[in-house]
Amino acid sequence: MSEDALRKEKMTKIEWWKSQGIEPYGRKFIREPIVSLTAERKGQISIAGRIMTIRRHGKAAFCDVMDQSGKIQIYFKKDILGEVLFERFRNLDVGDIIGIKGELFTTHTGQLTVLVRDFVLLSKIIGTLPEKWHGLKDVEVRYRKRYLDLIMNPQAQKVFETRIKILNLIRDFLNEAGFVEVETPMMHPIPGGAEARPFITHHNALDMDLYLRIAPELYLKKLLVGGMERVYEINRSFRNEGISTLHNPEFTMLELYSAYDDYQEMMKLTEKLICHITQNIFDTEEIDFGDTKINFQSPWKKIYWQDCWKQLGINNWRDVNDVKKAFSDLHLDTEGKQDLFELLDLLFKRAIEPKLIDPTFVIKFPVETSPLAKSWPGEPSMVERFELFIGGLEVANAYSELNDPLEQKKRFEQELQRPSERPKVIDQDYIEALEYGMPPAGGLGIGIDRLVMILTGCNSIRDVILFPLLRPRQ
RNA sequence: GGGCCGUUAGCUCAACAGGCAGAGCAGGGCACUCUUAAUGCCAAGGCUGGAGGUUCGAUUCCUCCACGGCCUACCA
C-alpha cells in the first residue's frame, strides 16, 4: 500500500475520533512508569505510552505498550470496556500514544498484564512505524529520523542512555575533585587552541566575522589567569573538515585545567576519571571491543613517543631519510608527504596507533607539534605532553601548559613560519592575558564522542551523536 | 576531494544469465474473548532513487545526477 493510501487511512481514523467529540491529541495524563509495576501491586494503576503491537481477537485484544522505562502487555476486553470504549479501541493503531487506567493480572502463561478499564487517546499516529520484527535498519533513515530509531531499536536507546551516564559520571567526578564547570564563548574573533579549519559566521550589528570555536582552550586558560584554579567545560567544538566514522563537524570535548599541576598529574587524573566511568558502567575491567577486549585495569601502559620510532627501526626520528626508510621497510606509502612531522604523524597513525588497544599513554612530543605546551626540562625541543590511546583511537591529549608569555609569543611566531593551508593570526589577546601571570597548570582534553564509541562498542561516531550532520535530502 | 559498493511496496528482504516485479510485516475486509512475530480466509498496494542511452524488450547492461555506506585524504 502506498504511503499516501496509508496516510489516508490514518486521516479517516482521526476524523472518526473527532466525530466522537474526542480531540485525538490529548493533554496532561497522570501516570506511573511502566517499570515500577510488579505482580504484587493491587488496585488501580495508571500508565501511558506508545502502542507497539496489537494482537486482535474479535472481542478482545492484547497490545504491548512502551514508555521510556519499559514495556508491558495490556488487555482490552469488550465485556469490561463496554460498547463505546471497545469501539474506540478498534480505532487505535500501532504507534498511537494512549493513557490507560486498569489493574494488573497475570495471564495463563504467567505474563504480567494490565486489564484495561479505561483509556484515553493522547496522540494519534499518522505515519507508519517500521516493521515490528526487523525494526529500522536503513542507516540513512536511522540518522535522519533518529526518533524512529529510538522507538524501534532498543540498542540505539541504550547507546544514548550510556552516553548521558558517562557525561554525568564525568561531571560528578570532576565536581567532587573541586573543579567548576564553566561556559566560554563558542564564537571566537580568532580561531585558536587547535589546528583545524573553522566555520565562519558573521555578526551583523558589529559587522564582523566570527569563527565557531575549534577548541575552548585559550579562554579556559584565561580563567586560570583570573584565579579560577580548577575549571572544566564539556561542550561542542566545530571543525570545518571532512566527515568520517571518527569525525563529525560538531563534536563534544571535555577540556579541563588544573592550576599548580602538570601533565603527570593529568595522567593520574585521566586514568582515575576513565576508571571511575568504566567501574560505574561495567562490572568488569575488561570490555569487548570487536574481536578483542580492552583491559582498563590500572596502572595503564606508558611509552615514550621517541621509543615508538626505535621499535620501527628508526635511529634518528629527526632524520627525514630514516623516517622514509621506515615507510619502505613497512611497505607503507608516504602518500607524497615530505614534511618530517607530517611523515611522523602518518607513520604513527599507520604503524603504532592501531596496536594501542589497552589504554596507553604516549609521552613527550616534539615542540613543533605542540605550540601551547611547556618544554621538557633541559630539552627545549620536546614538551611535557601525552596522548592517550584506547582501542586504537586517540581519546585524550594533555600537557603542562606553557605559561611563559614571551616563549608563547615566540612559538606563535614560529608557527607562522611553517607551511599551512590555513591563514594564521597571532592571538595577542591571549599573550596579553599570560602577561598578567598564569599559574603553572596541567590541561587535559578528552574527545567525548570517541570515548562513548569505545565504551558502547559503536564503530561510527554517527551512532553516538543523536543527530549527526547529513546532506539535506533533495 | 578520490576509490569501491548500495538505493526494488510504509518497513525488512527476493527476483539465475536482459523476458509479465514477488514474499513477510504494517494497512483494509471477514472470522475469532488468554495472545505474545497470534491465527485462518479475501482483496489491495510498485514510474524498481532521478535523467538519458543500448536493446524487439532494462530492476538487470552503459553514461550522468542525487543521497547513503565503507575505505582513503584534510582534521598536529
Query: Which tens digit of pLDDT belongs to each residue from A204-215?
Result: 999 999 999 999
What residue is closest to B25 (Cα–C1')?
Answer: A131
Q: What is the reported pLDDT for A326?
A: 86
Closest CA to A398 of A233, A296, A268, A222: A268
Strand intervals (E) in A296-431: 301-304, 360-366, 375-376, 379-390, 393-400
Residues 43-82 of A with CB under 7 A from strand B: 53-60, 62, 73, 77-79
Q: What is the mean pLDDT of chain A?
A: 93
Name the percent of chain A lying above pLDDT 90: 80
Q: What is the pLDDT of residue A421?
A: 63
pLDDT at A437 over 70: yes
For position A107, what pLDDT does the model report? 96
Q: Which fold has domain A152-300+358-463?
A: BirA Bifunctional Protein; domain 2 (3.30.930)
Distance A55 CA to B48 C1' (A): 33
> Does the pLDDT value for residue A474 go beyond 80?
no
pLDDT, residue A419, reads 67
For residue A66, give the nearest of A87, A89, A35 by alpha carbon.
Answer: A35
**Measured distance CA(A167)–CA(A172) in Å, rounded:** 9
Which of residues 186-205 of A have CB within 7 Å of strand B? Answer: 194-197
pLDDT band at residue A11, thresholds of 50, 70 and 90? Answer: very high
Instruction: Name which residue leads in pLDDT, A22 or A335.
Output: A22
Q: Quickly count: other Cβ atoms within 10 Å of residue A437's Cβ.
A: 10
pLDDT in tens, A365-424: 999 889 999 999 999 999 999 999 999 999 999 999 999 999 999 999 988 887 666 667
Q: Residue range A433-461: average pLDDT?
A: 95
Between A284 and A277, the higher pLDDT residue:
A277
Rounded distance in angstroms from the CA atom of residue A5 to the C1' atom of nucleotide B43: 15
Domain boundaries in chain A? Answer: 3-129, 152-300+358-463
For the stretch A292-331, pLDDT in tens is 889 999 999 999 999 999 888 888 999 888 888 888 888 7
ipTM (interface predicted TM): 0.91
* Residue A329: predicted pLDDT: 82
C-alpha cell at A29: 495524563
Q: What is the pLDDT of residue A423?
A: 66
CB-based contacts of A81, cutoff 8 Å, min separation 6: A89, A116, A117, A118
Residues A326, A312 contacting (CB under 8 angstroms): yes
Q: Using the CA of A372, which nucleotide's C1' is the nearest one?
A: B76
Q: List the single protein residue with the shortest CA to C1' distance from B67.
A: A473
Q: Give the closest nucleotide to A77 (alpha carbon vs C1').
A: B33
Q: Of residues 236 to 265 in chain A, which lie within 7 A of strand B by their beta carbon?
A: 239, 241-247
Q: How far is CA A32 from the centre of its chain?
A: 30
Q: Which nucleotides of B are covered by protein (CB under 7 A)?
A: 1, 9-13, 24-28, 31-39, 44-47, 66-76
Which window residues (367-396, chain A) lie with Cβ within 7 Å of strand B? 369-372
- Cβ of residue A137 lies below 7 Å from strand B: yes
The yes-or-no answer to whether A3-129 and A152-300+358-463 have a common fold is no
Confidence at residue A341, expressed as pLDDT on a 0 to 100 scale: 86
The nucleotide minimizing the C1' distance to residue A350's CA is: B72
Residue A123: pLDDT band (50, 70, 90) is very high
pLDDT recorded at residue A420: 67
CA→C1' distance for A6 and B51 (Å): 29
Task: Flag residues 211-240 of A with CB < 7 Å from strand B.
Answer: 239
Q: Are the beta carbons of A262 and A268 closer than 8 angstroms?
A: no
- Quote the CA–CA distance of A3 and A366 in Å, as a whole number: 60
Residue A200, C-beta contacts closer than 8 angstroms, at least 6 positions apart: A209, A210, A211, A212
Q: What is the pLDDT of residue A181?
A: 98
Which of A14-18, A144-148, A411-415 has the lowest average pLDDT?
A411-415
Q: Strand order in A208-212's β-sheet?
A: A187-188, A208-212, A200-203
Grid cell listed for A19: 466525530
> What is the model's pLDDT at position A433?
97
pLDDT > 70? residue A102: yes
Report which of residues 425-454 in chain A place their beta carbon less than 7 angstroms from any atom of strand B.
none
DSSP A401: B
A268: pLDDT strictly greater than 70: yes
Q: How far apart are CA A173 and CA A268, in angstroms?
A: 13
Residue with minimal CA–C1' distance to B30 is: A58
Chain A span 312-351 residues with beta carbon within 7 Å of strand B: 335, 337, 341-342, 345-346, 349
Higher pLDDT residue, A169 or A319?
A169
Distance A116 CA to B1 C1' (A): 60
Q: Which nucleotide is nearest to A10 (CA to C1')?
A: B27
Per-residue model confidence (pLDDT) at position A385: 96
A3-129: CATH number: 2.40.50.140
Q: What is the pLDDT of residue A354?
A: 87
